[in-house]
A and B are shown apart, each in its own frame.
Chain A
Amino acid sequence: MKNFGYSIIKQRTIDYDQFDGRLLNEILEMEPSFKVCLSCGGCTATCSAGDLVSFNVRRMNLLLRRGETVELESEIKKCMLCGKCMLVCPRGINLRNVIMLIKKSILKYKPVNE
């Protein structure tokens, strides 16, 4: 492949017709409290790991709902499972369980070629 001194940027389009919602559906089924998340960001604001690295719980939620499993896998590795996010969540979501469930299930749904 030739190098012309510049690169082609990959598309950032999320095609909802091609959306793979299997991981999301599994998480919602196993931890139904996650359905009521209003994306307030309280979890992110209080996150211990987020103080030290660029971990963002709300972003994790977004990646999961967009089906971006590759990015999601690397994101959740940063979580220390301290559980402070659960203390501040206005909807009482068991976020630690959400992250544990993602960790358990993500390999099943990760695209093979990536």
Chain B
Amino acid sequence: MKREGKIQVWKDYQKEIADDHYFYVRSCIRQNFFPGSEQTFLRILRSELGKDIYENPHHTTCSGIGYHSDVVPFDTIQTIVARQFALMTEAGYKNLAVSCITSFGIYGEIIETWKEFPDELEKIRNYLKKATGREFEIPQNVAHASDIVYKFREDIANKQKFPLINQQTGKPLKIVEHIGCHYSKMFPDKGVGGAEFPNVLVGMIESWGGEVVDYPERRHCCGFGFRQYLVMSNRGYSVSNSRKKFESMEPYKPDAILCNCPGCPMFMDRWQYVIEEMEGKTYGESGQGIPVLTYEELAGLVLGYDPWDLGLQMHQTNCEPLLDKMGIQYDASLKYAGKDGKLIGKPMMVGCGDLEM
């Protein structure tokens, strides 16, 4: 589609994103996969943008993985979500900022259910009252954390120290954007730009100086798919999906992959290592993998944060090639050093493309 056409589509799919005062709900899996990302999001919002964002330690999983794996019934997940809303209501907030794409889809699905079936809402209000004595209000605004970074992308661009420019060539870095399926494929009007041409990550990349890579399998799922991953013997389905994307993007020589979902960066990062081990194939330059970043990590790099503070040492596909291209200085000896300087331990398995780490 021509750019004019995309602009028209994006006009039809512009969502309202709250300006301030967010109740932040973390993702259960992101805190394990890329623990620096959520902390970076809070740091950017509080320190760089001066926003009010609150999180409650009593917040729990939304149980989305269990729900999508058919072990958590719909009534149960609705009641759990109602409890999260109750925490938000008790804290005096009305704008929900969601870290996880799965949770974002779950919240959208449940709020839409309550709109269509008010009896269901009343039933869940009763369940929650009986179980916990809590009451709740439905959030006025539900935004994914990437929506919020998208909204303030120009403010971040104004403070940027390392734009997405290849310092060795002076050309914009070529970045593949990958949107989580549950961000806008379920409810296109809940995502910036809809399902076909989501603009949420494109906007960030272009504002920060990079160039977006369009390739045939751009909208293909990363392969997470819950059931495809949870049972080990099924993981071939998952890795095959990721490989389909890598094969499709490889000819365009991307410098990095940018994701806004918990599962996508995890699998596109780890599967590159697995494919290298199983087939001896790597997709980046000079036998390296293609670095896979979350949008918070990329925003942090653009703002000049220390790569190891962002948690880039948690990636199995090494991010150093991207850091070198952006001209970011880093101390390789501190990669696995904790805050007190002590080693936190090296991974048991070496990273993708890195044979002698």
Chain B associates with chain A: yes
Q: A6-B234, A11-B244, A11-B247 are in contact. Are A1 and B239 (CB under 8 A)?
A: no
Q: How far is the CA of A5 from the CA of B274 in the complex (A)?
A: 11
In the complex, how many residue pairs between chain A and chain B have their CB atoms under 8 Å apart? 37
Q: Mark B262-293, 1 if CB is under 8 A from A, else 0.
A: 00000000000011011110000000000000
CB distance from A38 to the nearest CB of B (A): 32
CB distance from A5 to the nearest CB of B (A): 5
Question: Using a CB–CB distance below 8 Å, which chain A residues touch chain B?
Answer: 1-2, 4-9, 11, 13
CB distance from A84 to the nearest CB of B (A): 40
Q: How far is the CA of A47 from the CA of B240 in the complex (A)?
A: 37
Report chain A residues within 8 Å CB of B274: 4
Report chain A residues within 8 Å CB of B94: none
CB distance from A77 to the nearest CB of B (A): 29
A9→B237 contact, CB < 8 A: yes
8 A-B pairs with C-beta separation under 8 A = A1-B279, A2-B278, A5-B233, A6-B239, A8-B236, A8-B240, A11-B240, A11-B244
Q: A9-B240, A11-B244, A11-B247 are in contact. Are A4 and B278 (CB under 8 A)?
A: yes
B277→A8 contact, CB < 8 A: no
A1→B232 contact, CB < 8 A: no
Cβ-based interface call for B21 (8 A): no
Report chain B residues within 8 Å CB of A7: 236, 278
CB distance from A89 to the nearest CB of B (A): 39
* CB-based nearest A residue for B242: A8
B239→A5 contact, CB < 8 A: no
Report chain B residues within 8 Å CB of A8: 236, 239-240, 243, 275, 278-279
